[in-house]
Amino acid sequence: MTDTTLQNPVAPAAPLAVPPPVFAAPRAAFADSDGAAKWAKTLPLMSVAQAYDAVMAQFALLAAADLPARERAKIAEILRDPVAHLHTELARRYAGKPQPEAEREREAVEQAVALWHALWGQYSTCLKPLLEGDPELAGVKAKILQRGLFVGKELVLVHGLARRATPADVWQELHAYFRLAEMLDCAVASVTDDLIPQGVGTSCYSTYSHALLLGLADPCAMSVRQIELADRWLGQWSRKLFPYARQRESETPVLVVDLDSTAGAVLVPAALKDPPAAIRFGYPSKLATSVRGRLRRLSSGANPAELQLGHDVSTEQCYSLLTHLESRWCHVVRAAAPVAADVPLELVTGGMLAAFFRVGGRTFEKHDPVVGRTFHGAQHLKTLGALTDYDRFKEEAEKDWPWERWHGRYEWLEAALARDDAGRYRWALDQLVVVRDEERTRLACVARVACGLNGRLTAVLRLYPGAPRALTLRAQAGTYSDEPPLPALLIAETPEEPPTLVMQSRAFTPGRQFRSVDGGPERRFRLTKLVQRGADFERIAFEESA
């Protein structure tokens, strides 16, 4: 057979056109509120990811649907419960996590924000008919506006749990909803809200005040538990603060909010001169009385349950949080003395081993340098003077815990710092930090941390005044005597504070005794009181014996 392929070349056939994949467009799962109620009952059977996708798909269809405003409001009311449930599940993934966020945590935050915004869009679609006097909405106008304000409050909560500042558009929308409640004369009308189970006197103004006070409490400086408790307590207390259109000249301090602004409320020491018409004034005296009264009763032995603070919270937790809230809601922050505003500082975090290395200049030796050494071995080491100071893990420690440069305001007991890129470390509330300036090395803990939308990290550090010194401690007697040595940092006594020991978490037991095994003069410590429990350390008061 003759091969004719080369003799009569044929141009290759054009490739067959492959049609693009066809994805089925999401279909409406319901057409009215009755259908929405039946559909919502199927969501608990799905995983969180499936339920999120299903809810968001229906919100997208609802946004494009032509529905009567009353029916849309009913559907939004039905979908509030699934949105709140999904947010609770998503919050487990991101709430209070160290900053900057990991990818999974960031995705959970964005999904929570998207859910609440999608629900908010349904209420916002009802506003035009509400303004036009739709007769079907006449009896529910206060409820629709309160629900919209509630969604805005939840977005303040989401961003606080995620250690983010509340975006400008959220505050703008909240202000617009409250302004509309004033215009329609329903700001004080009472409504029921099952998502505020302990709410008292719930209304448009109380829900708006709830959001303002939650933002003013600075959630980025609070633990997740504190944020949740503050949100719960505000369901009972927010009605004690009303945003008035006219100010009182004699009552101070004043909580001021500008309805035309992109920010929440601020506390000022005195009445404003010639304020614009968009300014609203709140007077926290009733709230201060409530908070301070509870602090006094807790100090005298009352339990949280009888003060309506809850059965699931300790006296110490309540006292700490109420003290923080009282400082944020009832006291104007005085301007500090001028200090340099752009001081470079070097920071290291990473727990006790990192702090021990950066303070002591050597890595922590996990085994007692004396115990387990033979006589001949010890004599041999004594002949190697240069080798006794050799730190075989130092090079690795330098790589694991490098100094990281931050800039900001630096005072003796506090530093407010920022960094434009993520850096090596992740930062969490109450985390131990080593700080180095041009003259000294100091210890601090993180008092506030937040991540901006542009990736800019900000942190406030609470600095300990005493000079730190690294110590290796071994339990002196009792059941702990066979344990390996522990790293510790001794903070020297200052006029501000007595000396304290910084040790790893769960090291404190009242009366526990330690001795130093660093090779110098032996020191003996008996632990007496837990001064501070941090995220990765404990600061402990002690008595020293000869």
pLDDT digits (tens, 9 = 90+) for 227-256: 999 999 999 999 999 999 999 888 889 999
What was the pLDDT predicted at 422?
A: 81
DSSP 8-class letter at 10: -
The SS3 assignment for 42 reads coil
Strand ranges for 411-485 from DSSP E: 414-419, 432-436, 441-451, 457-463, 468-475
C-alpha closest to that of 76 among 131, 136, 118: 118
C-alpha closest to that of 330 among 244, 268, 238, 248: 268
The rounded distance, in Å, linking the Cα atoms of 515 and 124 is 66
Tens-digit pLDDT profile for residues 355-376: 999 999 999 987 654 444 444 5
Greatest distance between any 2 Cα atoms in the chain: 113
What was the pLDDT predicted at 21?
A: 53
What was the pLDDT predicted at 49?
A: 95
Q: Which residues, in sequence order, are CB contacts of 95 under 8 Å at separation 6+?
A: 161, 162, 224
The answer to whether residue 518 scores a pLDDT higher than 70 is yes
Alpha helices for 383-453 (secondary structure H): 394-400
Tens-digit pLDDT profile for residues 116-141: 999 999 999 999 999 999 999 999 99
The rounded distance, in Å, linking the Cα atoms of 76 and 83 is 10
Q: What is the mean pLDDT of residues 495-519?
A: 93
Q: Is-contact 159 99, C-beta < 8 A? A: no
Q: What is the mean pLDDT of residues 202-224?
A: 97
The rounded distance, in Å, linking the Cα atoms of 281 and 277 is 11
* pLDDT classification of 147: cutoffs 50, 70, 90: very high
Structure tokens at 37: 């109620």
The SS3 assignment for 405 reads strand
The SS3 assignment for 282 reads strand
Q: Which of 4-13, 328-337, 389-398 has the highest mean pLDDT?
A: 389-398
Per the model's pLDDT, the better-predicted residue between 15 and 42 turns out to be 42
The rounded distance, in Å, linking the Cα atoms of 279 and 246 is 8
Q: How many helices (H) and strands (E) does the chain have?
A: 14, 15
* pLDDT classification of 383: cutoffs 50, 70, 90: very low
* pLDDT classification of 103: cutoffs 50, 70, 90: very high
The rounded distance, in Å, linking the Cα atoms of 241 and 239 is 5
The SS3 assignment for 259 reads coil
In 10 A of CB 158, how many CB atoms? 23
What was the pLDDT predicted at 19?
A: 57
The answer to whether residue 26 scores a pLDDT higher than 80 is no
pTM score: 0.88
